[in-house]
Structure 1
Amino acid sequence: MTIKVGDTLPEAVLMKMTADGPAPVSTKELFARRTVALFAVPGAFTPTCSAKHLPGFIEKADELRAKGVDEIACISVNDVFVMGAWGKSAGTDDKVTMLADGNGDFAEALGLTMDGSRFGMGKRAQRFSILVKDGVAAEVNVEEPGAFRVSSAEHLLGQLTAA
């Protein structure tokens, strides 16, 4: 079943690259008592993800935080080393937390996977954004295949402004 507004996000362990190496991140702890702008991309270093999706959240980070977002997190079905390298390459610094959903378990638990086998990518996360408030989905924005509009930082910022 696909996550929808009002649903509690599933518990999972994602991975984050730190100065000391890979470290686990519990979604329960990540989302507890805070507001998180979570977005997913089909793959690190892929064209739309690198040219538009991630840069949009980096550029809008201060505006999102000014609207009450405590953390901005990017997930992808990639390994933690790739996500760490992509974050470093993109200059995410303290603006966007890069999280690896290495086996796609979290994306699958959300009901938001896609089959990228045709492109040699296997199971991946669909492109989406979710505004999470204390572990509950307040906004869920899932893109149609090949599209990039409703999962953007600009769209999520508009939802925060309208609220």
Structure 2
Amino acid sequence: MPVLKPGDSFPPDVVFSHIPYTEEKGEITACGIPVSYNASKEWADKKVVLFSVPGAFTPTCSVSHLPGYIQNLPQFKAKGVDIVAVVAFNDAFVMSAWGKANRVNDDSILFLSDPDAKFSKTIDWADDASGRTKRYALVIDHGKVTYADIETERGSLQKSGADTVLASL
């Protein structure tokens, strides 16, 4: 499958790994049980913002990229966004811990794992050299892609940052 672009349908059978947040497993050292998260099914009738980072706990991702989405969550909701999700190649345990480390103590932002960058590879937005997901953002509205862009400069948030994606809604 080539790169997704506005007007395309979100691919069928996109499944990520996810550990749903629970209060009893709310401590950063607590491990939940990873479950399959069928994004194609879950997002079919919702407006979704999905942004991808090269890795949890990395400088640009932790200092700038994720915080922008956390801070702007009310504005995304006000624009009719049902789900905000972040994806990286890290396993579900790391993604869960990253959410807890950033005080996302609910599933207001989904922390999804794209093991082996499988989804990112299918849309040609994975780094072949490292095997990581690249930095990109998608808006999916009831199964249709309405925004899709990828960063071409290391550390840049010009195309995938919260402000840019929010302006596209």
Please identify which structure carries the higher strand content: 1
Name the counterpart of 2:55.
Answer: 43
User: What corresponds to 1:22 in structure 2?
Assistant: 34
Distance 1:4 1:79 in 2: 27
Provide TM-score, normalisation by structure 1.
0.90
**Whole-angstrom CA distance in 1 between matches of 2:144 and 2:105:** 26
TM-score, normalised by the number of residues in structure 2: 0.87
Partner residue of 1:101?
A: 114
> Structure 2 residue aligned with 1:62, among 74, 78, 81?
74
1:67: how far off?
Answer: 0.4
- Gapped regions of structure 2 (runs ≥ 5): 23-31
User: Which structure 1 segments of 5+ residues have no match?
Assistant: none
Following TM superposition, by how much is the alpha carbon of 1:25 offset from its aligned partner in structure 2, in angstroms? 0.3
- Per-residue deviation, residues 120-153 of structure 1 (Å, max 9, x unmatched): xx21111011110112110112111302211011
2:148 maps to 140
Alpha-carbon deviation of 1:30? 2.4
What is the distance in 2 between the residues matched to 1:22 and 1:38? 19
In the aligned structure 2, how far is the partner of 1:29 from the partner of 1:89? 29
Instruction: Determine helix, strand or coil for the equivalent of 2:66.
Output: helix
Check conservation: 1:9, 1:110, Cα contact below 8 A: no
The corresponding residue for 1:151 is 160
Per-residue CA deviation, residues 29-54 of structure 1 (Å, 9 max, x unaligned), is: 22111000100000000000000111
1:91 to 87, 91, 103: 103
Contact 1:12/1:105 (<8 A) preserved = no
Displacement, 1:3? Answer: 1.0
Aligned residues: 155
CA distance in 1, matches of 2:144, 2:123: 12
- What does residue 114 of structure 1 align with? 127
Q: Once superposed, which parts of structure 1, at least 4 consecutive aligned residues long, lie more than 6 Å away?
A: none
1:6 maps to what in 2? Answer: 7
Aligned equivalents of 1:129 and 1:22: distance in 2? Answer: 24
Query: What is the RMSD of the two structures over their aligned residues, measured on CA atoms?
Result: 1.2
The CA distance in 2 between the partners of 1:154 and 1:91, in whole Å, is 21
Aligned counterparts, 1:121-136, within 5 A: 122-136=130-144
